[in-house]
Structure 1
Amino acid sequence: MSLALSLALRELRGGLQGLRLLAVCLILGVAALAGVGSLSSAISAGLAERGQLILGGDIEARLSGRFATEDEVAQLAALGPVSEVAKLRGMASNPANEERTYAEIKAIDANWPLYGSFRMDGGDRVEPGSVALSTALADKLALRTGDAVVIGSLPLKVGGIIVEEPDKAGDGLGFGPNLLMARADLEATGLLGPGSQYSSRYRVRLPPGTDLAATTKGLEAAAPDAGFQFRDATNGAPSTQRFVNNLGQFLTLVGLTALVVSGVGVAGGVSAYLGARTRTIATLKTLGADSALVRAIYLWQIGLVTLGAIVVGLGLGSLAPWAVASFAADSLPVPPSLTPQWGALAASAAYGLLIALMFALWPLAEAAKMPAARLYRSLTERKARPGGGTIAVIVLAAIAIVAITLLRAGDTPFVFAFLGAAIGLVLLLWALASGVRAVAARAPRPRNMLLRLALGNLHRPGAPTRQLVMALGLGLTLFATLATIESNFSGQINRTIPDKAPSFFVIDVPREGIEGFRTAIAGVAPGAEMTVVPSLRGPVTAVNGVPAGEIKANDEAWILRGDRGLSYAAEFPQANTLVSGTWWPKDYAGPPLISLDDDAAKALGLKIGDSLTVSVLGVEIEAKIASTRKIDWQSLGFNFAILFAPGALEAAPHGWMATVAVEPAQERGVQRVVGQTFPTASIIRVKDVIGQVSELLAQLSAAIRAAASVTVAAGIAVLIGALASGARARTYDAVLLKLLGATRGQVALATLAEYLLLAGIVSGLALALGTGAGWFVITQVFSLEWEPIWWPVVATVGLGAVVTVLLGLAGSWSALSARPNAVLRGL
């Protein structure tokens, strides 16, 4: 080993020119993986470090539709200081200009916040009689500190503009700007009428060292039927954590794709490097070196360059949390932790080493195994197949990559599907390359000399057809996949929602005022289309009698998390499709029945006749499943995952929700009359909701585009590697053709015909495979509708094919320009 290392270092003194492609490919792949992994891990670490700040306490007890009794508050207060926070929606208005807008309201008591600090530009306390506004709300209503504002029906004063709100990340996504007000003022707003949708949250600050899990279980056991939902600081923002984990897993797999694609480039780079060293290897063997020594020499060289490339890639990737925190902090739920994420970096380094080992061993074993005489004739000799030991190491490296990926994955089936698709793509391209060579060898010879040369180049000994097909296939499939995802994100909002959307959502219409609401809307907007439904909220507390907290469910079982919107209906709802069971008769009068969203039923393994228990204002109602429905959530109507049959919920206090569709010229009149007649109702412009969803999709698209850009760069590097691996043989062919009388233009045309033929074959396959991969990502990963815009996808693949052909010609230019005498003297 010392002799091999000595010889390896001596040869490396001449420079790394031949191994630059290996280094570039690994740097790109490792940097992509390290960056994505570090950012995801850093955000998760940020959530964990700020658990108490995000939750607002060590433990939170949440109720829906009611406030805790004195005895319940006293039980919590026995554990430590308690802060009460109420969350609801309402209308905020500027009486000076009559501007009104929907707002997310947080009513806080004097103990808030238990952790962290609150700041606004007018002080650090929200006093009774005043509110603190977010910058977005203040701008929308044209309000400043000291101005008057009306919340519901209560006039208040703007105490300041919010600068820092410690538990904002734990509030989740809202569809309106937020404001803070004193808990003592809440009842006077009129927003807490019968049926109003609100939640009360009681945060407790526990003594240091208290066992959070044991304390939470004790509270749950003490009040099993009170309707409380408990959370602790170890999971202060579960929905945010799930989103970060899912997006991080997807982007990690994108990064792993970049590294696998880079691995193909590594193979091309190593093959080209060793091809340029054939005379050196042959000389070593002539002087007595055996295959093991040759293999060790170049394994040392490749290993040293690999380690250097991995270190550089890790360094670049580790900067991702700092870069995102510096330039895109507003897009993150919490600031990422800026400490090194050693787990993510270690995994990325392992991936880099294993990929380099997988793809470098094959060409290295081919070169080391060939006898010296055959090495001197390597341009025309078929390469020796590696032995069983080399193949076994390659297989073990692949198994190790799969194992690491599965150990770090949150969704094992998805990872299996992704890895299976990636392996299937590589095998399919390998088979396609073999098929192209076989067909080219057996096809009739064209009369045109240039076409005959192009066809012969596809199957001659040493032809780089397999490398080119792999490079073109991987690159163009990647381009097609990204274009499909991008076009779906663009078409998701623009093509589907505007044609179906109502003008307004109206929430919390008083139960006794629903007829007056219809009359008021008809008065200012004759011909308005209205849909009115009853509205309640409550959590699912048991499934077939088993408490919801004891059910081990995956992320798809969202129906068990938090409160659910509830309603009742006699007629089958629009934008729904009956999947199983039967719909109840309009005059149904019997035991409680429900119709359940089909996806939710599948996630929990429920069937017709099973039961769900739902808590409505603290009263638990057990209902049998009568039917399941497929819901078109994009209809932007009021869709409920749980619908009750008539007779179960009518007696419960509740309000109404409505969708109103009017002409654009009538919108302002509708907003005004609802505000004047029903000050406690919330009216939401659908355009505002669409704007928020569009912004979220744009951020998601940008994240995917940023991660995938590295993969695109790796794909280009693969193509360069494929060209480099065949450059020596192509130069030799060009020289022989020139000696036989061919001009440089004729050789160039033959090369162009070869690349066009390959690009045409591979482009069709890449378009089909990329479309399938894009469909999987859109529908299965992000659970969005399949709404592609086809022309960008086809144009992207076509442009990618043209670019690869041009790159191929550029890479072949040195071969076309080679002087015969210089090349022949070097043989």
Structure 2
Amino acid sequence: MAGDDRFSGRGVRLNLPLRLALRELRGGLTGLRLLAVCLILGVAALAGVGSLASAINAGLAERGQLLLGGDVEARLSSRFASGDERARFDREGVVSNVVRLRAMAGTADGADRLLAEVKAVDARWPLYGNFRRVDGPSCRAGCIAPGTAVVAPALAERLGLKTGDTLMIGEARLRVAGVVAEEPDAAGEGFGFGPGVLMARDDVEATGLLQPGAQFRSLYRIKLPPRADAVAVAKRLEAEAPDAGFQFRDSSNGAPSTRRFVDRLGQFLTLVGLTALVVAGVGVAGGVSAYLGAKTRTIATLKTLGADTATIRAIYLWQIGLVALGAVAIGLAIGAATPWIVARLAAASLPVPPVLTPQWGALATAAAYGVLIALAFALWPLAQAARMPAARLFRSLTERRDRPTPGMIAAIVGAGLAIVGITVANATDRLFVLGFVGAALALIGLLWALAGLVRWTAARVPRPRGTLARLALGNLHRPGAPTRQLIVALGLGLTLFATLAVIETNFTGQISRTLPDKAPTFFVIDIPNDGRAGFEAMVAQQAPGAAMTVVPSLRGPVTAVNGVPASQIDAGPDAWILRGDRGLSYAADFPPNNELVSGTWWPRDYAGPPLISIDDDAARALGLKIGDSITVSVLGVELTAKIASTRKIDWQSLGFNFAILFAPGSLEAAPHGWMATLAVTPAQERGIQSALAAQFPTASVVRVKDVLGQVAELLGQLSAAIRAAAGVTVAAGIAVLIGALAAGARARTYDSVLLKLLGATRGQVARATLAEYGLLALVVSGLALLLGAGAGWYVITQVFKLEWQPEWGPVVATVLTGGLVTVLLGLAGSWRALSARPNAVLRDL
């Protein structure tokens, strides 16, 4: 039969394995269910995260005009466009001017005041989309009448406002004309410190908020003629006024900060999902090993009848491939439905409604990951089973498996490299992704080595006196023991969960403990330049002994670095100092909560050419050194200064920290205001707020506790998203545990039967199993806690630059819960073996 062409004939080799594979699959997928479950979990996680991020970005792109409020936007800080500048905008199309600033909004009697984000719009607003009040019709132009204001629902609720009431904005009295129901460009304006107020552009001067040095943004939005190229128009306008301090955006990227946030969160969650898929890959290996272990007699029979290694490999590769493709398809279907599900359940948490059409790019990437993971992890056990001779297959319970051929190992390595290549190619921050991949590979290698050490140690330590203890120890290193699979898979899952628990508890600790202890009570913004002395006197009268810091305040964008326009510099995601306006100030003394890194601080009486001190992280992101120059636009005037020093800034001190500080003599003559921090007792808060409202109605007061509450809410949403993605990893780890148990089920059943024949009771065997899995859980949990703490420390202290303050209770509870699940599932998986009847098992030998 060795030469029978039914198995070895070249003409039928391509179709005979497929026919045999399909015939065997008719009996059901019992042995390959684990492979399917693991792949569905991993692919669904990746496809879901990728589809949601892609769908949100597609929504941002599709609604670019709505989010931006026009086809092109020109943004200025603390000044308005000149007549010539406005004429250039008018030449391109219809122009709408919007002014954005922060101000205190209050009731007519002044009893209640609240920081609000004020948007003053002209009669042409909105250029795109519709504005609508609650219980009112949609509006396309002239939506806000002079002398009126439309308030956000949160402001109406907190101040108890209703239509017809009077609202105070600075020195202006406005009639409340309704509550906002739909604001077309709201999602493109980013994070705000308070609820919004819409008022007419003509009423802004009456508020008294636009005094010299006040901080506001003037936005000129242009609606272009049909078929005009918004990108080209924005570039042309920028080229016509390179030194005017304008920041131009076009509708192709109407909400850049939102897009960056979605991209970064999506990338992080994709890496978490990829970790889940790698963990699932270990389950794939376990499932394939268990399936082929149950097929050893079939394989041995086929080999006895003349089937060669290639035919055997092809038969089961067809089976595994068909099941894997079906699992990938199911995972992709779940991932494709994720944007629709999230849009239905959590629409309010999304920046824009996601596009609900399939995101083919994200789905194709997830499918490639799933196929490559299945290939990388299934080939090893398949090659081992296919190479073994028939005689050894009949003794498979006691035989060690051969290593795959070099060609098969090369295919496995190639699949792994392809996974890394796809990950890096799709990354927005490739260094971060390479670091993550390197750390994941190092972790897998460490867990693999630890598993080998556990087996080696278990085989060589002195044997305990107790029979059950010896049995539990022997089960860790016997042939076919699932020790390595369990340690690698559960180690990955629990380490990831421990890391996330450490990060989350640190964030919580920063908000709830450290920051409130350091934080001032109020930030006061836009104190008039000539009102500083009066402000300090008022504070001294209302809150004697209050801690107060007053600093000069200006704003302006960085327009050039070493003479190169900022728009032409692509320094990656860390070049945040080039994006948007920067807070600017000047100081004679070295600021508190800062540390000098390089260069020297100027003398207090410095009177030379302009010098600056810059944040050290920002300098390193741009490759800057002492002596390099930075150009900043201040009220339309370009000011170039040389870098005299770099500083490490403690941003969590919640004081006034400026990434760019000028030396004395550079900015004093420019119109500017002042900012202050106040730390007062709870009993002094209301008196300070009332006095500020009466004496400085144009100043804005930020209550720090309110800001921290918003930050805590945002962190809570991020934590929920991360926990959901990490939960898939843990679910995959549980599936791997089940697979490892399934892979060793036959051997464990025979062990149980032999022990029963030798006089052991079911309870004794169960206690031995409990000891085995308890020891494994202890090892894995301890290592996960150690590695998770190390990874969490790096993220908190090196990435987020926060203090190391984890809460060990939740972290330890997370890890111990994972260990307990390991033990319980181990006992549940062994119950069938414990219940096996000796006569039935022995007849099957």
TM-score band w.r.t. shorter chain: over 0.9
Residue matched to 1:555: 573
**Residues 479 and 800 of structure 1 are in contact (CA less than 8 Å); yes or no, is this contact kept in structure 2?**
no
Call closer, same or farther: CA 1:225–1:486 in 2, change over 3 Å.
Answer: closer
* Alignment partners' CA distance in 1, 2:471 and 2:105: 77
Residue matched to 2:748: 730
Is 2:438 the counterpart of 1:420?
A: yes
**Residues 89 and 103 of structure 1 are in contact (CA less than 8 Å); yes or no, is this contact kept in structure 2?**
yes
Corresponding residue to 1:72 among 68, 85, 93: 85
* Alignment partners' CA distance in 2, 1:791 and 1:755: 24
User: What is the deviation of 1:331?
Assistant: 1.3
* Alignment partners' CA distance in 2, 1:332 and 1:24: 30
Query: What one-letter code is carried by the residue in structure 1 that aligns with 2:417?
Result: I
Residue matched to 1:24: 37
Is 2:106 the counterpart of 1:88?
A: no
Corresponding residue to 1:5 among 5, 8, 18: 18
* Alignment partners' CA distance in 2, 1:617 and 1:277: 78
CA offset digits 1:722-763 (Å, max 9, x no partner): 111111111111111222222222222222222222222222
SS at match of 1:186: helix
**Residues 75 and 218 of structure 2 are in contact (CA less than 8 Å); yes or no, is this contact kept in structure 1?**
yes
Is 2:502 the counterpart of 1:489?
A: no
User: What is the deviation of 1:684?
Assistant: 1.1
User: What is the deviation of 1:435?
Assistant: 1.4
* Alignment partners' CA distance in 2, 1:2 and 1:758: 45
Superposed, 1:198-597 pairs within 5 Å as: 198-597=216-615
Corresponding residue to 2:119 among 84, 103, 106: 106
Query: What one-letter code is carried by the residue in structure 2 that aligns with 1:533?
Result: V
CA offset digits 1:25-70 (Å, max 9, x no partner): 1111111001000000001101100111111111111111110112
Corresponding residue to 2:807 among 778, 789, 806: 789
User: What is the deviation of 1:476?
Assistant: 2.3
Is 2:133 the counterpart of 1:120?
A: yes
User: What is the deviation of 1:96?
Assistant: 4.3
User: What is the deviation of 1:784?
Assistant: 5.1
**Which segment is superposed worse, 478-487 or 391-400?**
478-487
SS at match of 1:103: strand
Superposed, 1:714-793 pairs within 5 Å as: 714-779=732-797, 785-793=803-811
* Alignment partners' CA distance in 2, 1:341 and 1:462: 43
* Alignment partners' CA distance in 2, 1:784 and 1:285: 63
* Alignment partners' CA distance in 1, 2:528 and 2:411: 71
Query: What one-letter code is carried by the residue in structure 2 that aligns with 1:659?
Result: T
User: What is the deviation of 1:785?
Assistant: 4.7
User: What is the deviation of 1:781?
Assistant: 5.8
Is 2:157 the counterpart of 1:144?
A: no
Query: What one-letter code is carried by the residue in structure 2 that aligns with 1:650?
Result: E
**Residues 244 and 638 of structure 2 are in contact (CA less than 8 Å); yes or no, is this contact kept in structure 1?**
no
Count the aligned residue pairs. 827
* Alignment partners' CA distance in 2, 1:789 and 1:611: 44
SS at match of 1:653: coil
**Which segment is superposed worse, 795-804 or 276-285?**
795-804
Call closer, same or farther: CA 1:216–1:475 in 2, change over 3 Å.
Answer: closer
* Alignment partners' CA distance in 2, 1:441 and 1:503: 63
CA offset digits 1:386-409 (Å, max 9, x no partner): 111211111111111111111111
User: What is the deviation of 1:5?
Assistant: 1.6
Corresponding residue to 1:630 among 628, 634, 648: 648
Superposed, 1:687-698 pairs within 5 Å as: 687-698=705-716
CA offset digits 1:48-93 (Å, max 9, x no partner): 0011111111111111111011221111111110011111111111
User: What is the deviation of 1:446?
Assistant: 2.2
User: What is the deviation of 1:543?
Assistant: 1.0
* Alignment partners' CA distance in 1, 2:395 and 2:684: 84
Is 2:57 the counterpart of 1:37?
A: no
Corresponding residue to 2:186 among 168, 191, 206: 168
* Alignment partners' CA distance in 2, 1:465 and 1:288: 35
Is 2:688 the counterpart of 1:670?
A: yes
Q: CA RMSD in A?
A: 1.4
Query: What one-letter code is carried by the residue in structure 2 that aligns with 1:670?
Result: I
**Residues 468 and 723 of structure 1 are in contact (CA less than 8 Å); yes or no, is this contact kept in structure 2?**
no
* Alignment partners' CA distance in 2, 1:426 and 1:76: 58
SS at match of 1:319: helix
SS at match of 1:93: strand
Call closer, same or farther: CA 1:560–1:181 in 2, change over 3 Å.
Answer: same
Residue matched to 2:704: 686
Q: Report the TM-score, using the length of structure 1 for normalisation.
A: 0.98
SS at match of 1:78: helix
Query: What one-letter code is carried by the residue in structure 1 that aligns with 2:74?
Result: A
* Alignment partners' CA distance in 1, 2:556 and 2:507: 33
**Residues 585 and 660 of structure 2 are in contact (CA less than 8 Å); yes or no, is this contact kept in structure 1?**
yes
* Alignment partners' CA distance in 2, 1:334 and 1:784: 31
* Alignment partners' CA distance in 1, 2:290 and 2:166: 75
User: What is the deviation of 1:256?
Assistant: 0.7
* Alignment partners' CA distance in 2, 1:472 and 1:339: 36
Query: What one-letter code is carried by the residue in structure 2 that aligns with 1:6?
Result: R
Is 2:724 the counterpart of 1:711?
A: no
**Which segment is superposed worse, 560-569 or 92-101?**
92-101
**Which segment is superposed worse, 16-25 or 486-495?**
486-495
**Residues 95 and 222 of structure 2 are in contact (CA less than 8 Å); yes or no, is this contact kept in structure 1?**
yes
Query: What one-letter code is carried by the residue in structure 2 that aligns with 1:587?
Result: D
Residue matched to 2:64: 51
User: What is the deviation of 1:260?
Assistant: 0.7
* Alignment partners' CA distance in 2, 1:555 and 1:783: 17
Residue matched to 2:199: 181
Is 2:28 the counterpart of 1:15?
A: yes
**Residues 64 and 200 of structure 1 are in contact (CA less than 8 Å); yes or no, is this contact kept in structure 2?**
yes
**Structure 1: 5+ residue stretches without partners:** none
User: What is the deviation of 1:172?
Assistant: 1.3
CA offset digits 1:231-278 (Å, max 9, x no partner): 111111111111111000000111111111101011111111111111
* Alignment partners' CA distance in 1, 2:798 and 2:20: 52
Query: What one-letter code is carried by the residue in structure 2 that aligns with 1:141?
Result: L
User: What is the deviation of 1:363?
Assistant: 0.8
Corresponding residue to 1:603 among 604, 616, 621: 621
Query: What one-letter code is carried by the residue in structure 2 that aligns with 1:76?
Result: F
User: What is the deviation of 1:777?
Assistant: 4.2
User: What is the deviation of 1:774?
Assistant: 2.6
Query: Quick one: percent identity of the two aligned structures?
Result: 74
* Alignment partners' CA distance in 1, 2:504 and 2:248: 39
Residue matched to 2:4: none
**Which segment is superposed worse, 712-721 or 440-449?**
440-449
SS at match of 2:27: coil
Call closer, same or farther: CA 1:32–1:373 in 2, change over 3 Å.
Answer: same
* Alignment partners' CA distance in 1, 2:797 and 2:749: 48
SS at match of 2:534: helix
**Residues 651 and 657 of structure 2 are in contact (CA less than 8 Å); yes or no, is this contact kept in structure 1?**
yes
* Alignment partners' CA distance in 2, 1:785 and 1:264: 36
Residue matched to 1:640: 658
**Residues 497 and 726 of structure 2 are in contact (CA less than 8 Å); yes or no, is this contact kept in structure 1?**
no
